[in-house]
Amino acid sequence: MVSDKSQNPFHGIRPSKIIFPIMIGLGVVAWMFWKDFDPDALRHFQLTSFGTALLITALACMLVRDLGYIIRIRILTDNKFTWLQAFRIIMLWEFTSAVTPSAVGGTSVAILFVNREGLSLGKSSAVVMATSFLDEMYFVLMFPILILAVHPQKLFQTGGTDTFQNEFFWVAVIGYSVKVVYLAVLSYGLFINPRGLKWLLLQIFRLPMLRRWRHAINDAGYDIINSSRELLRKPFRFWAKAFGATFLSWTARYWVVNALVAAFFWIPGFKEHFLIFARQLVMWIMQLISPTPGGSGFAEYIFTRYLGDLIPLDSPEGLAAIAISLAFLWRLISYYPYLFVGAVILPKWIRDKFMPASSSR
């Protein structure tokens, strides 16, 4: 069998794709430390046995987050994937998201991940679009709920600025508006006009690394339409389970910061915890505009500026240095592992899925 290397979208991938976002993130953290470093602030980082348990809880939240994604991909494919296949798809998906700008994400390449694990291209496209639909539904529903539960003044008023004069408010509004429009387009394509979904996918497959599959997507048009109609006929229980897995995954992701802050500082009550959770969800919406891979640099900066004032200290002395340290720990738990796990899994997956000839000689 002739090697399928020419059809491999990752054959040109370089170590810089992994190193670049790490350097951006560490560079921004180093710059903020240099600007606001206060050695006396380090005395606040005293890890007790209870704090250690909360750090383990933060890691567990990330595992629950991945488990939710794995369960969801199995639900959407009617359990056609094994647990190992689902794990592999999610890890590769997260790796792609980590090395591409937040506004691009790994959704488009995920179609190829799902396809190479055994589903037809049309069905893979419909399944990945369904995951995007569920993700956007979570944000579109949760954002107004948080506004009502927390009040915009507490959610956006940082550093003494008025809500409507705060840049974070307008960034969040723009990000949320983009998500509403995207959800409307996905809903229309999946449930009303599957031919429109085919058109959307053809536009996505204009991207340079996906262009060679554009004709295949066009040829798989009827499969896309039939798969979308099949999803439309699914019972309410099917969608409730899929959304439940989505809710579990995203919510677990946001509790990571709560566990991380509580590991070092006393959080007095549920309202304070809920405000940290709410701001983290809003922060994720803000990251939509980040041009850097995986939001590197931008995420650390937003964390320090937007979540820093929620760290409970008796005095503001050293607050900036503490917030920067927590931002680094947060990314160490929730972002960098996907770069390394993906870098380990991806080479073998490429050999297995794109170059089977070498192993069959």
28: which 2 tokens? Answer: 């921004």
Residue 295 Cα distances to 6, 41, 42, 60, angstroms: 30, 27, 27, 23
234: which 2 tokens? Answer: 């699914």
The least confident of 69-78, 200-209, 265-274, 282-291 is 200-209
Q: What is the DSSP letter of 78?
A: T
Q: What is the mean pLDDT of the chain?
A: 80
30: which 2 tokens? Answer: 């180093």
Q: How many CB atoms sit inside 10 A of residue 312's CB?
A: 11
DSSP string, 166-192: -HHHHHHHHHHHHHHHHHHHHHIIIII
User: What's the pLDDT score for residue 358?
Assistant: 46
Give the span between the Cα atoms of 273 and 257, in whole angstroms. Answer: 10
Write the pLDDT tens digit of every residue in 220-235: 677 778 888 888 889 9
**Domain boundaries along the sequence of the chain:** 5-360
Give the span between the Cα atoms of 211 and 121, in whole angstroms. Answer: 14
Task: Give Dmax over CA atoms of the chain in angstroms.
Answer: 69
With cut-offs at 50, 70 and 90, classify the pLDDT of residue 202.
Answer: confident
With cut-offs at 50, 70 and 90, classify the pLDDT of residue 185.
Answer: confident
With cut-offs at 50, 70 and 90, classify the pLDDT of residue 168.
Answer: confident
pLDDT above 80: residue 355: no
212: which 2 tokens? Answer: 């060679």
User: What's the pLDDT score for residue 9?
Assistant: 55
Q: What is the DSSP letter of 313?
A: -
Determine which helix (DSSP H) or strand (DSSP E) holds 6, and give its type and residue range.
Answer: none
User: What's the pLDDT score for residue 287?
Assistant: 78
More confident residue, 221 or 104: 221
Q: Give me the amino acid identity at 33.
A: F
Write the pLDDT tens digit of every residue in 153-165: 788 876 555 555 6
Give the span between the Cα atoms of 227 and 235, in whole angstroms. Answer: 15
Flag whether the pTM goes above 0.75: yes
Write the pLDDT tens digit of every residue in 300-348: 788 888 887 787 766 556 677 788 888 888 888 988 888 888 888 888 8
What sign results for the dihedral spanned by CA atoms 330, 311, 152, 289? negative
296: which 2 tokens? Answer: 């590197």
Q: How many contiguous H segments (helices) and E segments (strands) does the chain have?
A: 16, 0
User: What's the pLDDT score for residue 90?
Assistant: 94
Q: Give strand pairing partners of 293.
A: 101
Residue given tokens 């190193």 in the structure block: 19
